[in-house]
Structure 1
């Protein structure tokens, strides 16, 4: 495949690599020539029906292979290179170079996690009954793990009945079910100007509109939310919030601001969509906003970010009286949560393994966040138990320039543009979970040298 422009049918999984290979092939075939300008991240994402994050990662690979170059204020252009250099990094000896990936938000790979998986699988291998191996009825699985789900939600600050909880295969499926249950095509969702890229992609698939609302250092401004809802003439139907430190800017919203936003939602009739991937990982946390608006709030959390990436289990809390409506949406997309994963999760929670992992994770994240703060200083925002930090760039530096310089030093970060709903200051997301602490320190010190101001 060497044609240009590309179509959505040209993209296979993993999408970022498929896209990078397709562009590299077009360059090699001469269909993209030296000096040709590539589409912007957002434009190409729209044309190919992929996320902006996918395009950003593909462009990063091409920059690393010297096939394209980013120019400040102008864009990304095909580089001038002899034919023998036209090879992508995953096919070249350069791929053997160490590369530290700070672009993916993942928990720290703790020894306690590996031990927990080994012990659970060993213990369960001879005890799995037909209710785990052969069960296909969602209602049976829901009943089997309902107590586990409500117990975990209580740790997150929500005490709810079983008929308000849906178990899913992670936070993103829970969010998708909530969006499709609460909204119809054309509806507007209020968000912070920077939000999770999974919401941006899901909104596009469901033909929903996102509108950035003004924020201050405490989060979304309630008065701005009310004003935007009133100006929308009834088209704004929901507000999406990530108040517990998992949003691109990892600020944790205080109780007073949560109360004010709940009051604003009640005043305007907006449905609250509250995403809390970290769950009980932060040791001290204000109660979820949805606890204040039980009749118009959807809350979703999960185990992937706080316990283990392989433990893909999510919990969706819905307003009272919507159980059949919401579960029908889930049936059409996922049918039910995976019983084996749910069984492992219950094993961890009941035996205290989850508590031990949470405690160890808090200790390690505190050390990593202190390390990042000491190296990158006040430009690098984040709390003690965040999985990532938000690095503000100097006004004169564009995100593409910073990313290119970082990639030249084999460090990958995530561009702020991938999370932007409205205009934003140049910034990048730095995830702290991957690799060992010594490697992380090396990567952070490398980034500190990219911009002299640090």
Structure 2
């Protein structure tokens, strides 16, 4: 009976989310639903109650049960950029350390008293200043990426870097292979530029590479989007062998590789990037928003020479150049060791928060890297993610369902928790509430 009840709830939820059942549509009465599916009236009532708890329907006494407008209210989706001041934000990651504001103050003073300030007010080369590209190339070599300064393009953060790659190298209708759970920002770009995303099944240790081979044999795949070093949201780090195999598949089927390394700094001594194994076809994208601060919109794209003109054209069309005040700040911190120190401190901070999450969420199953600023939390079979998210929002705690990350038709019931945006005391409070809310939903 539980399986049948669960199937009814999932079928209605899928129909509502897909638009097959529109807002205002009247659902069958409780008795009609029970008769249609051969279940008891109590079970039919429970199914509608769960759909109502998920925010998908509303029951009106004397009138019936109706499909609700399901556009998310503020704070419930990763596309919502801000939440109210009194909300504990476990939706977005913007990890910051207490001393960062003073570091910025000092850096601005130094910038104001040194160098040619007038030059910072002028247009810059689309790819960035040669000297700054050389500094960043030297920093990247410390990550195992052998890149010449000429291969680097400075952009307005990693998201802009991904947009430049999509705009410059992909065309509407192109097929891109992605993980079944992937970064929502890339999903948004694909929707905007009408790129078809084809999901690859995920395993405990990475994407199903046999499925990638099969997909490439069946369809003309233009590119693979991958996060090999600390995947968001699942936290895996691909092995040397997996990276070599991806490079081999890409060469055999002439794929571009779009490598997103936004969180790679959190992993100590990882294998070399995919760009090391397939430098002639990999677009390596990273930035300084996570390891320094989200408000510092500086990123970099490392590109094979053949693709550079198209990417520079995309930079020119979207922003002309990355603001030189921002790049000067970043390069100053690269030179004096501030970036390395912040990365080291944030790895320690993320490790502490990850340990806290696993302790407070036990015995729930938690998926994530020991150094990650986020965890993936699959929910028990009888618990619905929408209901958990809404109940937490009632407690002024914002988390994300799996929907923004999912590229498959059937969205798993799971939540993703960002750990880096609140104090440790607030994180303790929020995680305790998450565990108790899931337990309450399960007991119902």
What's the TM-score, normalizing by structure 1? Answer: 0.78
Q: 1:222 to 1:72 in 2, by over 3 A?
A: farther
Equivalent position SS for 2:222: strand
Q: Which runs of 5+ in 1 are unaligned?
A: 1-36, 45-68, 82-87
Cα offsets for 1:177-225 (capped at 9, x unmatched): 1112222111110000011111111111111100001221111121110
Shift of 1:112: 2.8
Distance 1:294 1:412, change over 3 A: same
User: Corresponding residue for 2:322?
Assistant: 337
Change (3 A) 1:136 1:207: same
1:150 pairs with 2:137:
yes
Q: CA deviation at 1:70?
A: 7.5
Rounded Cα–Cα distance in structure 1 between residues aligned with 2:303 and 2:267: 23
- Looking at structure 1, the residues matched to 151 and 84 of structure 2 have their Cα atoms a distance apart, in angstroms, of 49
Residue 450 (structure 1) aligns with: 437
- Does the CA-based 8 Å contact 2:201-2:208 persist in structure 1? yes
Q: Distance in 1 between matches of 2:146 and 2:340?
A: 19
Contact residue 244 and residue 276 of structure 1 kept, 8 A: yes
Task: Tell me by how many angstroms 1:39 deviates.
Answer: 9.6
Partner of 1:53: none
Change (3 A) 1:43 1:137: farther
Question: Is the CA contact 2:158–2:299 (under 8 Å) kept in the aligned structure 1?
Answer: yes
Q: Which among 318, 340, 348 is matched to residue 363 of structure 1?
A: 348
RMSD: 2.7
Question: 1:387-429 deviations in whole A, cap 9, x for unaligned?
Answer: 2110111122121011012112221101101111013431111
Q: CA deviation at 1:285?
A: 1.1
- Correspondence for 1:7: none
- 1:103 to partner: Cα distance: 0.4
Q: Is the partner of 1:306 in helix, strand or coil? A: coil
1:246 and 1:277 in contact (8 A); partners too: no
Structure 2 CA distance for aligned equivalents of residues 42 and 371 of structure 1: 37
Distance 1:220-1:208 versus aligned 2 partners, 3 A rule:
same
Mark the CA change 1:130 to 1:124 in structure 2 (over 3 Å): closer, same or farther.
Answer: closer
**Residue 390 (structure 1) aligned with residue 370 (structure 2):** no
For residues 284 and 100 of structure 1, what CA distance do their matches in structure 2 show? 33
The aligned counterpart of 1:8 is none
**1:216-254 CA-partner distances (Å, limit 9, x unpaired):** 11111211101011111x2x1111101112412222222
SS of the residue corresponding to residue 223 of structure 2 reads strand
Q: Is 1:104 equivalent to 2:121 in the alignment? A: no
Do structure 1's residue 267 and structure 2's residue 252 form an aligned pair? yes
The SS at the match of 1:280 is helix
2:160 aligned residue: 173
Give the number of equivalent residue pairs.
Answer: 381
Query: Partners in 2 of 1:98 and 1:139 — Cα distance?
Result: 41
What's the CA shift for 1:38?
13
User: Aligned partners of 1:259, 1:174: CA distance in 2, in Å?
Assistant: 24
Secondary structure at the aligned position of 1:294 is classed as: coil
The CA deviation at 1:75 is 5.5
Distance 1:349 1:42, change over 3 A: farther
Instruction: Select the residue among 392, 398, 408 that pairs with 1:412.
Output: 398
SS at match of 1:322: helix
Q: Where in structure 2 are the equivalents of 1:12-411 lying within 5 Å?
A: 71=51, 76-77=56-57, 98-107=86-95, 109-127=96-114, 129-130=116-117, 132-138=119-125, 141-232=128-219, 234=220, 236-377=221-362, 379-411=365-397
Question: Does the CA contact (< 8 Å) of 1:188 and 1:238 recur in 2?
Answer: yes
